[in-house]
Amino acid sequence: MAVCTDPAPFHCIRRLLQALAVCPSLLALAATAATAQATGRVIGRVLDADTREPVVAAEVRIENTDLTTLTTERGDFILSSVPIGEHRLKVERIGYRPVVLNVLVRAARATRLNVELPTAPVEVEGIGVEVERVRLIEPDVIESHQVLRGEELRELPVDDVEEAVELTTGVSEGRFRGGRVGQEVYRIDGLEVKNQAEAATTGTGLELAPSAVAEIDVVVGGFGADNGAALSGVVNYVTRRGNPERWDGRVQLLGDHLAPDSYAWGFTELSASAGGPLRFMGEGTTLFADLLFQGLIDADPRARGLTCLRPEDGDAQLAETIARLRDTPSAAHLYCPYTSERIPHQRGDKTIGFLRLDQQLGSNVELMASFLYNRRQLELYTPEFKYNLEHQLGQRTEGFLANLTLDWSAQHEGRIYNLIGRAALVRLDRYLGVLDPSTFSERSRVAGFGLSNFRFLGEDFTRSPIEEQLESGAAVPGYAIPGGTVGSPFGPAAEGIFFTEGTPGIANWNRTDYLATDLTGSLLSAEGHALRAGLNGRFYRVESYERALGYLTGNLPSFARFYPTTIAGYAEASLLAAHDVTLELGLRIESFQSGISFREDRANLLSPIVDAEWHTEVMPRLGMAVPVPGTFGRLMFRFNYGLVAQAPDFRFFLDTTLGDSLRANIRRQGNPNLAFERGTSWEVGADMLVTDRLSVGATGYLKQLHNLVTSSLTFSGFAENQFTTGDFGTVQGLALTVRGRWGWIDLRAGYTLQSAKGVTSSAFEDPGEGLTERRLEFPLAFDSRHQFDLTALAGRAAGVETRWSVSVTGAARSGYPLNRTFTSIEEGVEPEVGERLPWIGTLNLRTSWQFGELPLCGGCTWRAVFDGRNLLNRDNIIALRRDTGTLAPPTAELEAIADEIPFDFQPIPLESPNYSANVDLDGSGLITADEMRTGRLAAALDRNDPSLFFGSGSAMRLGIEVRF
């Protein structure tokens, strides 16, 4: 056995290598074509089980691969380019009993483990040790995160990856630890893909199908300097690559057409994926393809379906009003005339296509090329248009991502050098407008899904050169002033309440194209130290078009085309110090510029035009993971601190309407010179492995956010109604997690107690009452005090070879604040929340039975799947009216609408085109003023249907899955 005495261990290893050069199991880089984005690293130390001294020159290898290395003088080893997934790692050394471990390798991460070799004077059979698939405790990890593997993801009752991200403790309805939607960043195979134009209002923009995902890593706190453009969280998606050995795949068909009416949304999903080697392109070249089609009759189903106000939904006066209507035989038919299990005018479909090619270009260079396509299109139910048979609002979002990654890796003297270059082209396009009636009458659909795009009225016009539109001043072709007196259950009484003719007025589209470039370098040592540095740039072209009253001639649109740029650089060091303490120090610098030239003073036509400034932010990040000595890694503490920042959504550079103001054409003034939104984040946590199968954790966190985008501030120094970064807030909380694995069951549960406060005004809501110049924090609109979540996997879902599989997910959260008005403006008096929305809870289940081989398909297996959502059939209330705190408006408001009858009203005779027998309550052939009033009251009740105030409804689906 060679003994290395050279004090410079790297030189020693080199001599050992030279000595063992003829050995085919020498240190070698992976020959398998695996990119850094579908590969990880294994780092560890081999110790003598008795003496706990390092074992030098022990051979460490991944079975069934060419990946092998020798331990250093300190017993350390490092293996790079290990394909992600489960592997058997064998450690052996003459004089010791070999040890075999099952390890889980995760993408772009280092799996750390310590191996103890028992001494054995003679050859004996090796010891197999089961290492947890995902570690129950990670003594070397600084950040707070949760990992979901692809195999688990496909067993869960989720329709998309967003629902899977929701299962992470601290994430609720797209909000990460009390942050606003849009404060997180998404990465696909290491590439940051954020919908920077309008993340806060329209979400991610690009999504992967669950069947295309190898792993999701959701980081809710303590993310390092390599992550930017986020205040609250990072979601890392790793896509699947083809199997290098053989072609395999999966097809699944799932639908709810057989379910009872109250459990069916008209949902159909077909997903198919396949991957395998392309040997004609070179050894190790693989291709993976994935398709997902979803057809939806009701794309946004709600618990009560299309419903109406019930007596208990409002005040006592409402109950009396409804009772009066129902108890009048001639008028009873006017109460609740139109209900349905599913909400009408919410048809839609979704298409996701993904293609990935991996190829070895040389011994050290990997190429990965991927293409992602998204299309999601749906009608948008609008209560005032629910009786309009021709025209509804709709929305189509399309996304394209083409990504090219080159990954160079080299291993030398116990160090791994890695350089990754990425270039990607991304397009995100969203169109919101009035659907062409032929979209559903002439477009072929199967089970709600159609291959062709939705057609919108006047889309060619709204996308034509803006100069031509401004010159013509024409209305959007096809748009018409909303109105109508027939077609609803209330006939002429519904005039002005429901629009049975004409169209909505909105025409709005946004297109963001950008080129993303990344260069990242890293150096890892077998001792566990790492240095990373990177640069990235995003070069955007953003077009934004908005027209609120498209049916009016002369109503001008708001349009902008501009070229923002974001660049960032970072450097980070990760050190493994004494006692296995991990230290991370990082620094990130980000800059952005809106690319807009604007008049310095909009009120003064003579003021100069200036260019938007570059804004720069420097963000140090610090973190520490400390295993408690003597606990053998079973107890550890975490601490991290960092400054975080993100560029504001580009839409706030422009005059824009938001929320309900879109319909009223109220624009808030854009600000091309907005600065970064910033925050400071602290986190302290502890994790303990209670038993080998159970771990618990607790994390306390504090985030102070500054410079959040807002409008409507009346503080002095800000232009009224202009976007500015003047909002601020504080989030603090405590997260408790439990993780357990017992044979065939895998359990994860979490609870978060949290407080999220901020100023009363924001870009997203009305300021409320009692606004003063005092900079006082209120509970934010999305401040949920308590959050529980649960994920349980059993049988095949937990990775056990059984025929059956069960997975259950559950979540419960306390309600958001209903009103946040001042109760007092005295100094030192805290603002109070009068009421909160009720608790929300859901329970979902997915179960399957494997039948085995599929006839007529050699090598295929198939199973039947049952998927149930909101099984407790809970009518979760997700919103209430602020003015009443109930589902119903004030009854006085309904009465006022009912009384809106012209003083010179003439009775409407039967032969009038406006006549409706429904409102001619006495059947006299004349609709009198009293009958009109009753009809208007009923119409006002119906118009305020609370359908959208409820969460998702229950659903049951059946499906089959075939694997080959």
Residues forming contacts to other proteins in the complex (CB under 8 A) are 253, 255-258, 264, 266, 268, 270, 297-298, 306, 337-338, 340, 342-347, 386-387, 389, 440, 445-448, 486-489, 491, 851-852, 854-855, 862, 864, 906-907, 909-918, 923-926, 958-960
CB 908, min distance to other proteins, A = 8
* C-beta closer to other proteins: residue 381 or 461: 381
* C-beta closer to other proteins: residue 338 or 408: 338
* C-beta closer to other proteins: residue 505 or 959: 959
Provide CB contacts within 8 A for 595, sequence distance 6+.
540, 562, 563, 564, 565, 612
> Contact 929/905 with Cβ under 8 angstroms?
yes
Provide CB contacts within 8 A for 187, sequence distance 6+.
193, 227, 234, 235, 236, 237
CB 258, min distance to other proteins, A = 6
- Give the sheet arrangement for strand 59-62, strand by strand: 68-70, 59-62, 85-92, 99-105, 127-130
CB 476, min distance to other proteins, A = 23
* C-beta closer to other proteins: residue 6 or 930: 930
CB 946, min distance to other proteins, A = 18
Contacts of the segment 774-781: beta carbons below 8 A, 24+ positions apart: 774/825, 775/715, 775/728, 776/831, 777/728, 777/729, 777/730, 777/831, 778/817, 778/820, 778/831, 778/833, 779/755, 779/817, 779/820, 779/833, 780/178, 780/180, 780/729, 780/756, 780/817, 781/816, 781/817, 781/820
d(CA 371, CA 401): 6
d(CA 850, CA 962): 10
CB 151, min distance to other proteins, A = 24
Which 8-state DSSP code applies to residue 143?
A: S
Backbone torsions φ then ψ of 513, nearest 5 degrees: -115, 140
Nearest Cα residue to 44 out of 525, 539, 403, 484: 525
> Contact 700/638 with Cβ under 8 angstroms?
no
Q: What do you get for the CA distance between the two ends of the chain, in Å?
A: 48
CB 213, min distance to other proteins, A = 25
Sole residue written with tokens 């403790």: 169
> Contact 17/86 with Cβ under 8 angstroms?
no
> Contact 957/256 with Cβ under 8 angstroms?
yes
> Contact 370/403 with Cβ under 8 angstroms?
yes
* C-beta closer to other proteins: residue 492 or 758: 492
CB 329, min distance to other proteins, A = 17
* C-beta closer to other proteins: residue 138 or 961: 961
* C-beta closer to other proteins: residue 6 or 442: 442
CB 551, min distance to other proteins, A = 18
CB 864, min distance to other proteins, A = 6
CB 843, min distance to other proteins, A = 24
* C-beta closer to other proteins: residue 935 or 951: 935
CB 387, min distance to other proteins, A = 6
Query: What are the residues facing 42 on neighbouring strands?
Result: 79, 111
> Contact 214/148 with Cβ under 8 angstroms?
no
CB 818, min distance to other proteins, A = 31
The DSSP-derived string for 745-787 is EEEEEEEEEEEEEEES-BTTB---S---SS--EEE-TT--SEE
CB 310, min distance to other proteins, A = 19
Which 8-state DSSP code applies to residue 446?
A: B
Nearest Cα residue to 895 out of 178, 320, 268: 320
> Contact 561/467 with Cβ under 8 angstroms?
no
CB 854, min distance to other proteins, A = 7
Nearest Cα residue to 131 out of 153, 105, 149: 105
CB 441, min distance to other proteins, A = 11
* C-beta closer to other proteins: residue 417 or 964: 964
Nearest Cα residue to 107 out of 36, 34, 43, 44: 36
* C-beta closer to other proteins: residue 669 or 914: 914
* C-beta closer to other proteins: residue 873 or 906: 906
CB 795, min distance to other proteins, A = 20
* C-beta closer to other proteins: residue 336 or 476: 336
| CA atoms in the 13 A half-sphere facing the CB of 95 | 9
* C-beta closer to other proteins: residue 820 or 943: 943
* Token duo for residue 609: 């035009």
* C-beta closer to other proteins: residue 169 or 294: 294
* Element containing residue 440 per DSSP (H, E): helix 438-441
**27 to 16, 24, 246, 414, 530: CA distances (angstroms):** 10, 9, 27, 10, 20
Secondary structure class of 822 (helix, strand, coil): coil
As separate numbers, helices (DSSP H) first and strands (DSSP E) second, the chain gives: 11, 43
* C-beta closer to other proteins: residue 121 or 913: 913
* C-beta closer to other proteins: residue 267 or 461: 267
